[in-house]
Structure 1
């Protein structure tokens, strides 16, 4: 591939100055430009890497033209070198990058130009990299928009039929005319349909939270409400919990916690569902709600197979899940990703502790309601 030589303008009334520089600068294409008007025209056609502006150039003063040239986007990487004696101050004030005496020999001038050419080359390379990275960023943003639209479309298109199927399966399961062996199959189909509904909704909510589009609707949550939220979350998980021993303990007289009950219900449903998936029939699931200092602690523990240590660091990432599960069901990992985003949106945190063969405990914290607005709400509730 033929390399393109960098272009150097010599704006001067005498072409001899351009010829002398060309002889001392074989690695560049030196172009003589006789005046300001020619400079405006030539710079538009062939943006130079470096332009030497001789202060004694007749016609329109170069100090008046230079500010206009510096505003052009195509000349952003051009370096302007003022050459002369008396008029250099005006060129410097107009935006010249460097000054040099017109008594400087061609070899010295060529050395100065080479330095500016190196800077221009570095600027051009940086601009190329920026353009390439911007192109990648644009492609990524386009893919993210398409992905968001696809997820949104899929969830909304799937949610209604899945809900309808779930309702029909509940009706069939409760029908006394259904044989007992068939009822068990209907129960399995109902649980799997419930799982599919959770998967789709979690995908949408994770995308919303990552984009900052999900807004919490916090309320003051007391001990009885925590019990109600847990009961609703258990109902969301489905009939599979009938085969597990679920022990719920909510400390009495808890100080009010500001949280979105519906989002908290979804978080607990995901954690309880996760515990159920990792325990065999007859396994134990323990749910505890208490307070320590200025935080409410909620834990969901099971005595299942536990999670391999190497899976723990990425457990809350989207599309990640433990490779060791008892249910053998495909999962997107969106449930735990949703839990982490939702808890952090509340100002809390969530973590997991697990031991192979012993069980797993997920714990989340929520800050107590302590500001004046919360105190007013509390008084209003008691009055």
Structure 2
């Protein structure tokens, strides 16, 4: 098996658009605006794009639709949907294709108007036919099941889960782009309405509009651009189940595999990262992924977040934009995690960590199903 092509591809441009509420835009218009801004950021011309990767909440042919919207005739389009991890999977595919010389410039984009278009999660995904007789809330009940098992097995508490939400809000309060701001305490979270026990409203991600896009090209070309290139040092995906009822162990996710393979490809370990951007659709996600990616031992995630380690001033800056819990969550958050990691490396994040050179973005799709990890670094890390 050929290893991941370390640092062969790099992010040359990036952008977000319409975060929070963007009335008057539909999903593809939001994605297209983010894509145009990312292309401008890269210094490349739109018609140099020869691969389009795009997921949209309401169009299974998003790659085709965005290419048509722009008037492009790309060599390759992809709308592979694995939920919020789709975009990290797109990074893997595009990096391999750039390394092989099959494409020269990839645009990866996403947009959703789910808040201004009804205020509910927009997804064609549903619980499996085996689970539907129990009328679960998809995907919330699946995550509640994992949270309940983690609490049973390791003594994790609702207050520890609340620590994740409070830390995210603290980061968001100093990020102008974040949608949810203001005070949030552990007590506030514990008093929040339970939606699917033990998960309350404060344990759930936002419902927002928003769009994001990145431009990938070969690293030498990206280095010649107007913005600092962000090489992809390693990336990997892993899937162990689809339906939560088929998850082998509710406290162990495939992040164990995707993270280990991505870090091995990059030649780094968990202790090397300056920031970590995790897909926090629910507070239990952050706890599970910190454990499975090797930032703390299995079962110790609750204590780790309770200690303040992931909050501003802590030992491990996590979700420095506010994450899906307080910055934005327009249906699928994965591309926003990748962009926040890249912004940290470029030195332009709202909550910039001094000297950030190596950042991890970990993304999640389905019911803790698809896991995909991307290791990014500065040019100095090559």
Same fold (TM over 0.5): no
Larger Rg: 1
More helix by share: 1
Q: TM-score, normalised by structure 2?
A: 0.22
**Which one has more relative contact order, counting CA pairs under 8 Å at least 6 apart?**
2
